[in-house]
């Protein structure tokens, strides 16, 4: 009689009886995933982990309600205030070939690079990276106490020695002095990549590179507060390994960069 009144099937009611602790189970699992990733994952991140790691399809609204009930809040990345710096004169300048089109159909088609800095005690460290826009993978990175052309040079060597020379690859950067140097021009000829540069004072032209650094600082640097330079080097290695292999991204069909890359080639072969 109650089933008829509530328009619920009898089989559905008995199925519910067999799973009386479903809500409790989902709360425990969400709490476990939240703790496992040190509070870094938000609603969408946990939703993807539930689906991909535990084969449990839960609507993001349900995840939001449970997190709110358990008072679980993801670490929020601070919004960056961009400043319009005056560009120093001199050096090479290149056309902006990306024009904020960050979609790449194939690997090594469009690459973005940048350098960020952060302090460990009284030491300033500089992280240089190259990201492939095809799958958002960090294909090369270097950490140094000097923000010089050698830092950028080593990053480029690391990328192209790993995957080989790819004719026509676009490598986009800002207008930093390293990217305007003669050495950078020589590297573009050595590895057959085409330099591209952001417009002056337009940080959004290199938003993908900036976005990775934002994730890194929110999910690693600010979260764990590196105490020594040695610890910083180790943590950078660990974070980029996690970012490439385990960090699911909605744009990549809820896969990590490495998984998306393998999926691409398996699909192509099939």
pLDDT digits (tens, 9 = 90+) for 168-183: 799 999 999 999 999 9
What's the confidence (pLDDT) of residue 95? 96
Q: pTM of the entire structure?
A: 0.72
Percentage of the chain beyond pLDDT 90 is 51
CB 192 within 8 A of CB 166: yes
What phi and psi values does residue 138 have, to the nearest 5 degrees? -80, 105
Sheet holding 110-120, edge to edge: 137-144, 123-132, 110-120, 169-173, 193-197
Name residue, tokens 């009144």.
5
Q: What tens digit of pLDDT does each residue of 131-161 get?
A: 999 999 999 999 999 999 999 999 999 998 8
């Amino acid at each position: 009689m109650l089933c008829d009144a509530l328009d619920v099937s009898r089989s559905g009611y008995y199925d519910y009886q067999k799973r009386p602790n479903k809500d409790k189970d989902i709360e425990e699992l969400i709490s476990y995933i939240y703790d496992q990733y040190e509070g870094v994952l938000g609603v969408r991140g946990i939703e993807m982990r539930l689906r991909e790691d535990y084969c449990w399809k839960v609507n993001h609204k349900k995840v939001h309600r449970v997190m709110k009930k358990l008072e679980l809040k993801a670490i929020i990345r601070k919004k960056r205030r961009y400043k319009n710096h005056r560009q120093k004169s001199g050096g090479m300048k290149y056309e902006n070939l990306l024009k904020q089109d960050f979609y790449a159909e194939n690997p090594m088609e469009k690459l973005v690079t940048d350098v960020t800095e952060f302090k460990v005690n009284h030491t300033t460290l500089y992280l240089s990276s190259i990201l492939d826009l095809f799958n958002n993978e960090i294909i090369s990175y270097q950490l140094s106490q000097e923000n010089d052309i050698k830092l950028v040079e080593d990053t480029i060597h690391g990328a192209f020695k790993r995957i080989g020379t790819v004719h026509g690859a676009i490598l986009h950067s800002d207008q930093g002095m390293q990217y305007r140097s003669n050495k950078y021009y020589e590297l573009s000829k050595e590895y057959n990549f085409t330099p591209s540069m952001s417009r002056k004072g337009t940080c959004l032209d290199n938003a993908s590179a900036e976005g990775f650094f934002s994730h890194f600082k929110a999910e690693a640097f600010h979260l764990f507060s590196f105490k020594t330079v040695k610890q910083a080097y180790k943590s950078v290695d660990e974070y980029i390994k996690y970012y490439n292999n385990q960090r699911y991204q909605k744009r990549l069909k809820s896969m990590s960069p490495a998984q998306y890359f393998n999926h691409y080639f398996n699909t192509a072969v099939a």
